[in-house]
Chains A and B, each alone.
Chain A
Amino acid sequence: MSDNIERISESMAKLSMKWLSAEDEYPDLSKHNNHMAKVLTLPMYKKLRERVTPNGFTIEGVIQTGVDNPGHPFIMTVGCVAGDEETYEVFKELLDPVIEDRHGGYKPTDKHKTDLNPDNLKGGDDLDPKYVLSSRVRTGRSIRGFCLPPHCSRGERRAVEKLSVEALAALSGDLKGKYYALKNMTEAEQQQLIDDHFLFDKPVSPLLLASGMARDWPDARGIWHNDNKTFLVWVNEEDHLRVISMQKGGKMKEVFTRFCTGLTKIETLFRDRGHAFMWNEHLGYVLTCPSNLGTGLRAGVHVKLPNMSKHAKFEEILTKLRLQKRGTGGVDTAAVGGVFDISNADRLGFSEVDLVQMVVDGVKLLVEMEKRLEKGQPIDNLIPAQK
């Protein structure tokens, strides 16, 4: 961490300390079950409350969502967020162990590989469309120099929107598209976006609300998509940008190629305007939630697995393949008609190509298993080793 940042942050923090002690302020985490609560001891809290990022973000801002949302006995939420890029440095003592726990043992000294070259993906264009109904890859990007959604001011959020809209307006060919600001869209536009399943709403999850991401809604929020409706960008929802490539059917390689091309073009357009994405060698792409560091990538399919999903070893197989299942409404929804959303479980420590490869290979295998089970045949010899 640069000398300058350290000195400014320590002295500014001293000024923000009240006369009450760290013991008085320390949150009651006795009923909590999230990554933050597991890691934040009193001595750590004492140390971290004396610091502040150059943008004025404090430990209280980092942990508020985790204090307000004790968690669930079965689902382990992260319980902390970043307010700016510097959060990950200034509050390292908390965030490093949270990252290690959440990302399968990723160490503070580990380096993350970025690979957005779709040519490195083997296969992926032949997932059986009788089973694989749709394919989708999403990630997020943050614009360096601007605070993240939990902490940004209205002025900053609007600046992020302006920059993004200008950059996206320069896209051409099959990526040419249009921006719809949430607060300006017509009823007709809104209905179309809903029908296309593109429209995002004001967050209702207390996990997001408690971190302050929904402030000033719907100011400076919007949706951009290309005319072909295969490339979509969300502006100022949970991150500065969420980038999504999607289409019906099983041609994941095509989806991933468009994803990489689009992202690379967008990055160039930003750089031409003097802006970079938040990225570093250790954490890869920096996003609001520590769970989305690294690639921030979730590549997934909607796939029909009515027999497979009833198999006793379904969960075990998914874990071995480093995949996760969700309902077709996304996270925290149920599967409908045996159709599951299957995607990579990892984000950090594997490259984009690595993760999409896992999805492609894993889904291919699951579909093969499904076909066997349809015919009443066993699948034991297909069960893979742990990846």
Chain B
Amino acid sequence: MASSFTRILSSKRNVGILSLVGGSVAAGFLLHREHVTAGEPLRRRYPASAEYPDLRKHNNCMASNLTPAIYAKLCDKATPNGYTIDQAIQTGVDNPGHPFIKTVGLVAGDEESYEVFADLLDPVIKERHNGYDPRVMKHPTDLNATKIQSGVFDERYVLSSRVRTGRSIRGLSLPPACTRAERREVERVVVDALSGLKGDLAGKYYSLTLMTEQEQQQLIDDHFLFDKPVSPLLTCAGMARDWPDARGIWHNNEKTFLIWINEEDHTRVISMEKGGNMKRVFERFCRGLKEVERLIQERGWEFMWNERLGYILTCPSNLGTGLRAGVHVKLPRLSKDPRFSKILDNLRLQKRGTGGVDTAAVGGVFDISNLDRLGQSEVQLVQTVIDGVNYLIECEKRLEKGQDIKVPAPLKQFK
């Protein structure tokens, strides 16, 4: 009996075809940088219906959109790196979610995941990003900080300002799927580029495996150090493998520009400072990002980006700009007003505690940031935060004086 397997990879970039005939191997395949783990087709002895996950108790975007039909269509496909739908959805299968919080429930293992598994990812993106349809819409990228209006907050209320995003290096797999060598290559490429930053951006890299006790303590005191992820949402996706190999923190000497390497994404880029000068924070953010991009391009690399989805990151929730611009702001009175949530909603803002996502607010101080990531540009989102926070401060001031406040009209999305 001739056992023959053909594996056709649906990927726009590279197509590899493997065939095994009989007991001996006559393997015909195209040699590319990325190969495929051909083990999968031999193993699949069960129909898609036997493999389909039990999602009846689940409440996440993946579970809402992964029908048996879509699963059947995707379960025999793989990206050129060998990443499969089972791997992409593992985190969502393992973490059913919470009745009130809707998590995404899937990740990308590489850039091609967004293409090969588009039948699932497009509806998930649409749901998560409030109707943004990647099949027909285009995402605007705009890192021109000069367009920002006002952007310096009242420092009696705003304690600190921060903008973060992520960037992925094209050609290397993302944290859920990368091998140790790929992860180390990401580290090498980025650290090499960062060493070319000058002036107020000049800085130093601290590798998690090599840092001294002293350096570690300093990074903790500066609130820069990140730990091995404990959230099962992240660990089930395989992002914490080989910890702490090839992970590290880079920051400039002034401690206002910080980059995390190989945590949840290839890089997370953060610009921050005490006080309310969001405009300056964003200006440094844009300048730093553009400079890093230039430096990696000089070395023959580029960021993962496309017109449809903007900047490509591990979690579909961070597509587009991947940008979260936020402040720590004192709103003791407003936060107790029953209209607070509605006001935030209409301003397209979200609140978090001062420890970040999943923490509580302390002393009436909230972390307020943009809700949206995709479908609006960086400039638009930061302006939304600036306008929104100014409005919140106005409300707080009015409540201080015993005056009433108004719930603003909801902002239009996808300007």
Contact = CB atoms under 8 A, between A and B. Distances in A.
Q: Are A and B interaction partners?
A: yes
A16 B25 CA distance: 15
Contacts of A19: 33-34
B54 A16 contact: no
A56 B93 contact: no
A248 B395 CA distance: 69
B149 interface: no
Q: Please classify how large the interface on chain A is, using the bins under 10, 10 to 19, 20 to 34, 35 or more.
A: 35 or more
A24 interface: yes
Given A24-B181, A68-B243, A209 B235 contact: yes
Contact of B50 (A8, A25, A64, A158): A158
Interface in B173-195: 179-182, 184-185
B307 interface: no
B345 interface: no
A334 interface: no
A271 interface: no
B51 A154 contact: yes
Interface in A263-290: none
Contacts of B82: 16
A15 B50 contact: no
B53 interface: yes
Interface in A117-159: 147, 153-156, 158-159
Contacts of B240: 68
A25 B180 contact: yes
B37 interface: yes
A18 B241 contact: no
A298 to B, nearest CB: 29
> Which of A3, A12, A56, A64: most chain B CB closer than 10 A?
A12
B186 to A, nearest CB: 11
A57 B240 CA distance: 20
B370 to A, nearest CB: 34
A187 to B, nearest CB: 15
B35 interface: yes
Given A18-B35, A25-B181, A153 B43 contact: yes
A215 B93 contact: yes
A28 B209 contact: yes
A317 B40 CA distance: 50
Given A154-B51, A219-B54, A16 B35 contact: yes
B64 interface: no
Given A16-B38, A219-B53, A155 B185 contact: no
A45 to B, nearest CB: 11
Interface in A151-190: 153-156, 158-159, 183
Main secondary structure of the interface of B (DSSP, over half): loop
A217 B43 CA distance: 21
A94 interface: no
B361 to A, nearest CB: 30
B24 interface: yes
Interface string A210-237: 1000111101000000000000000000
Contacts of B185: 20, 24
Interface string A352-382: 0000000000000000000000000000000
A15 B18 CA distance: 9
B46 interface: yes
A68 B242 contact: yes
Contacts of B399: none
Interface string A24-44: 111110000000000000000
Given A18-B179, A153-B86, A209-B235, A28 B39 contact: no
A155 B75 CA distance: 12
Contact of B20 (A11, A52, A158): A11
Contacts of A215: 90, 93-94, 236
B94 A147 contact: no
A52 B39 contact: yes
A235 to B, nearest CB: 16
A20 B90 contact: no
B42 interface: yes
A60 interface: yes
A258 B339 CA distance: 67
B35 A216 contact: no
A15 B241 contact: no
A66 B216 CA distance: 25
Nearest to B180: A25
B303 interface: no
Given A24-B184, A68-B243, A209-B235, A15 B94 contact: no
B241 A17 contact: no
B111 to A, nearest CB: 15
B219 interface: no
A183 B50 CA distance: 17
A7 B241 contact: no
Given A153-B86, A159-B46, A68 B181 contact: no
A158 B54 CA distance: 11
Interface string B26-53: 0101000111111110111111001111
A4 interface: yes
B23 A4 contact: yes
B24 A156 contact: no
A67 B53 contact: no
A247 interface: no
A55 interface: yes
Contacts of A52: 37, 39
A223 B86 CA distance: 26
Given A24-B185, A68-B242, A216-B93, 19 more contacts: A3-B23, A12-B37, A12-B38, A14-B27, A24-B184, A25-B179, A25-B180, A55-B42, A55-B43, A56-B37, A56-B42, A67-B242, A68-B241, A153-B51, A155-B45, A156-B46, A159-B50, A210-B241, A219-B53
28 contacts: A3-B23, A4-B23, A11-B20, A11-B27, A12-B42, A14-B27, A15-B29, A15-B38, A16-B37, A17-B35, A18-B34, A19-B33, A20-B185, A25-B181, A52-B39, A53-B39, A55-B39, A55-B42, A56-B40, A64-B241, A153-B86, A154-B50, A154-B52, A155-B47, A156-B46, A158-B50, A159-B50, A214-B94
Interface of B: 18, 20, 23-25, 27, 29, 33-40, 42-47, 50-54, 57, 81-82, 86, 90, 93-94, 179-182, 184-185, 209, 235-236, 240-243, 245
Query: Which 5 A/B pairs are nearest by Cβ-Cβ distance?
Result: A56-B39, A155-B46, A24-B181, A20-B181, A155-B50
